[in-house]
């Protein structure tokens, strides 16, 4: 399950943020799919955890939108991580028209449990 955090400047229109909230779960799932965690195109609740937060008064950065993805490390996922993040950047731009943003993909060694 990828964890996705979108930080944004107050100048980013709400309609654009809404569009991101609709397209990111699918686009991120495509970007991080791998044999160990295949993506069948049928997102279920909890498959992607998506959070939005505005930049605070003391936050600093050069981009109006930064999309940070954390997804469990697998060798097959890590082997081509730059191509994955470049492809995700292009897909987000094509889907939303957003052009001034960054995407950060982190693949930590991690474990997940939701009690099931």
Task: Please tell me the distance from the alpha carbon of residue 55 to that of residue 59, in angstroms, as a whole number.
Answer: 6
So what's the pLDDT on residue 92?
A: 98
% of the chain at pLDDT higher than 90: 82
Per-residue pLDDT for 6 more than 80?
Answer: yes
Task: Please tell me the distance from the alpha carbon of residue 40 to that of residue 60, in angstroms, as a whole number.
Answer: 38
Q: Report the run of H or E that residue 3 belongs to, with start and end.
A: strand 3-8
Residue extents of the structural domains in the chain: 3-106
- Listed in sequence order, the residues at least 6 apart from 55 whose beta carbon sits closer than 8 Å to its beta carbon are 7, 8, 9, 10, 61
| CATH of the domain spanning 3-106 | 3.30.429.10
72-106 pLDDT, tens digit each:
999 999 999 999 999 999 999 999 999 999 999 99
30-81 pLDDT, tens digit each:
999 999 999 999 988 888 999 999 999 999 888 999 999 999 999 999 999 9
pTM of the model: 0.92
């Amino acid at each position: 399950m990828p964890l996705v955090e979108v930080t944004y400047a107050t100048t980013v229109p709400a309609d654009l943020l809404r569009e991101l909230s609709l397209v990111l779960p699918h686009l991120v799932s495509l970007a991080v799919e791998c044999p160990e965690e295949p993506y069948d195109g049928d997102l279920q609740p909890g498959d992607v955890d998506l959070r939005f937060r505005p930049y605070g008064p003391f936050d600093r950065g050069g981009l109006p939108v930064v999309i940070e993805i954390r997804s469990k490390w697998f060798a097959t996922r890590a082997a081509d991580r730059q191509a994955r993040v470049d492809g995700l950047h292009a897909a987000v731009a094509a889907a939303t028209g957003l052009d001034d943003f960054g995407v950060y993909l982190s693949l930590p060694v991690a474990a997940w449990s939701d009690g099931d």
